[in-house]
Structure 1
Amino acid sequence: MEELVAAEVISVNQIGEGTRVCIDVIDQLDPLEGMLIGNTGHGYLLVLSENRSTETYPPRPFRINGGAFHHYLYLGEERTTYLAEAKPGLEVPLWCKGKVRKVSVGRVKMEKRPFLRVVCRVENDDQEISATVQEADSVHVMTVDQAAKPVLELKAGDRILCYPDEPGRHLGKKIEEEIKEY
């Protein structure tokens, strides 16, 4: 199982409107269960299920808001897919309190929404990891204290969980190559 590590938030900035992708799975999700998503192969942030009430949104116990259309979705075993390519039937790994389970996607929902770009630095490393998440009170990430943190409240200095990786994929499978992603 991949070990999640701490990352310090460097910046959170509005980035504009685009297509967001929600992954609806065929089982009920724990409020602290989530999947790993990111802008680049350098690593992924743990974004949590929408199984909680917010001021503007009822709980969706089957949904994880995966963020921007271009994101990588980490599938485990050094494999990724693009959120844009996720389809019903795809098995996705879900992380919760140090455990992982796989659940199949039942539906993929895409809509235009505003986004935030979250940039983090892996603790004890210079590696940066970023994700483009929907600017909404229903979107949460996992803190190092195993608590849900709304992305609308994220700020520089916050510590959240991530999975560092090395870029270089061909059709979702890890390959050795020199690559630069930002």
Structure 2
Amino acid sequence: TLEIGADGVLVDSSIKEARKIKELIEEISTEKLKLQTVEITGIKQVGMGDRVCIDTCSIFNVGEGMLVGSQSSALFLVHSETIETPYVATRPFRVNAGPVHAYTRMPDGSTKYLSELGAGDEILAVDWKGNTKAMVIGRLKIEKRPLILIEAEFNGKKLKTLVQNAETIRLVDKKGKAVSVVDLKKGDEVLAYVEEKGRHFGIAVDESIEEK
């Protein structure tokens, strides 16, 4: 047991106490990420593309979403569809993440293209404070939609992502407020996960890699 660990632990307590233990274990086992505040430097309509909606088997909280971007070292926090609007009903299990080429961070710390994901895979849910948890994908919806290019900067590093051009798509500011991409303007600040390392096949490597 000391070498390989136990398969489980038997706890003699109430259901309430058992739930507390479960929550504590989940909290210990999840990664916390340091999100950075980045400044928007440009927003541009770029035409049509294949956009990916990720429908999970769980419910997101307000302030939660996924890390998505055109560069594996710079991923924007894209908010879940938990905000009510007069246009469409909420889909609190969904993140309208971006085009098929975009990267997202996975629970094991690697990245994958959105086009690589499928039902049964796990994705990493992230809140505006950097807390994370794994969620299981129920399905992907890939549809042709108009896109916008969002450009930002952090410590001289240029960051980019593309998202659907719709008022229901939101990034997140440093106070945890969801901001519609149609309302973004130069000088606004949003949250992103930024790292120095490049990646090969989703794995971080100590190598100089430039993605434009």
Scaled by the length of structure 2, what TM-score is found? 0.81
* 37, 48, 68: which one aligns with 1:6: 37
Aligned to 1:150: 180
Aligned to 1:140: 170
Letter in 1 for 2:152: C
Unaligned runs of 5+ in 1: none
Taking the aligned partners of 2:172 and 2:113, their CA distance within structure 1 comes to 22
Letter in 2 for 1:132: L
2:203 is aligned with 1:173: yes
2:101 is aligned with 1:67: no
* Equivalence map 1:22-61=2 (5 Å): 22-61=53-92
Aligned to 1:116: 148
Deviation at 1:108, TM superposition (A): 0.7
Deviation at 1:149, TM superposition (A): 0.3
Structure with greater contact order relative to length (CA < 8 Å, sep ≥ 6): 1
Deviation at 1:158, TM superposition (A): 0.4
2:135 is aligned with 1:96: no
2:111 is aligned with 1:85: no
Deviation at 1:177, TM superposition (A): 2.7
Scaled by the length of structure 1, what TM-score is found? 0.94
Residue identity (%): 33
Query: Is this contact kept in 2: 1:50–1:59, CA < 8 A?
Result: yes
Unaligned runs of 5+ in 2: 1-31
* Residues 7-56 of structure 1: per-residue CA shift (max 9 Å, x gap): 00000110110000011110111122111000012311000001122232
Taking the aligned partners of 2:197 and 2:167, their CA distance within structure 1 comes to 30
More helix by share: 2
* Residues 136-173 of structure 1: per-residue CA shift (max 9 Å, x gap): 11101100121010000000000100110235322211
Deviation at 1:97, TM superposition (A): 3.9
Deviation at 1:74, TM superposition (A): 1.2
- Give the structure with higher Rg (CA): 2
More strand by share: 1
Change (3 A) 1:39 1:65: same
Taking the aligned partners of 2:149 and 2:174, their CA distance within structure 1 comes to 20
Taking the aligned partners of 2:189 and 2:210, their CA distance within structure 1 comes to 25
Deviation at 1:100, TM superposition (A): 1.2
Letter in 1 for 2:143: E
Taking the aligned partners of 1:168 and 1:55, their CA distance within structure 2 comes to 41
Deviation at 1:104, TM superposition (A): 0.9
Taking the aligned partners of 1:2 and 1:54, their CA distance within structure 2 comes to 29
The structure 1 segments of at least 4 consecutive aligned residues displaced by more than 4 Å after TM superposition are: none
Deviation at 1:180, TM superposition (A): 1.9
